[in-house]
Structure 1
Amino acid sequence: MKRVTSQINAFTLLETLLTLSISCFLILLFSVTFQKTVHVVRGEIFVLQFENILKNQQAQAVTKAEMRSLSSSNGIVMVDGADLHVPKETQFSDFSIAFKENGNLQSIRSAKIVIFLPYEGKEVTYQLQLGSGQYRKTTN
């Protein structure tokens, strides 16, 4: 009788640990990069939402012929007295803006809005103009 021996190629313990550690490293690397990307996108989306709220407040002041307000104190943004949910990806400077019935600003006091995006290290500034109710957006 002949004996047939078959060779089974398998990973040794050392090769298995090496493969596992490389796989875990790559997964963690992509996970951290993905999380940072998610935070950056959330911050940018909220800036766009805030810009829309700013325009909407001005438009509502004109269409409803009533004064509308937008303010921030200690990082809490308030729209006509109601708190607005602000994600951790954005930080606001203190400001207080009131739109008159014609859509113009009531006063020049604190007509500058600064939003800091800590995950990007970026600062978005809105400088509102008296009379026209328009604003100038700059990014640093």
Structure 2
Amino acid sequence: MSLADIQRITAEKHQSTAGLRTAITIMERWGALREQMARTLRVSSSTLARAKAGNGTITLDNDQLDRVSYVLNIHATLRLVFDNPDNVYGFVKLPNHNAFFNGRKPLDVMAEGSFASLYETFRRIDGLRGAMW
């Protein structure tokens, strides 16, 4: 393994750790329980604890990285759509009567743990932007 490979792997681990820590912070602000975070991000409780504590670097697989990305993008969309922090962080905790959610809270849908649930939640929330772009 070359020095360039080692540097690339190290950089990827640091990015994974930073992304996971940011996703955890966002989900905590959403009021997510540890179990909801673990299922949504498909990581163990011990990985969540290590990331939160800042103990070392964490390696995530592509599925986990995609999940982190969707959480970050949901948060970014909510920040675009809402000016009020109560709405930015409270939206996912409110029952949603959209056809997809059928009265369920977006956070509960994401926490079902399937990638499809997370993706569809992102799509529906991203759709709130409408013609904003």
Which TM-score band (shorter chain)? Answer: 0.3 to 0.5
Give the alignment's TM-score, normalised by structure 1: 0.33
Larger Rg, first or second structure (1 or 2): 1
Q: Which has the higher strand share?
A: 1
Q: Which has the higher helix share?
A: 2
Give the alignment's TM-score, normalised by structure 2: 0.34
Q: Which has the higher contact order (CA 8 A, sep 6+)?
A: 2
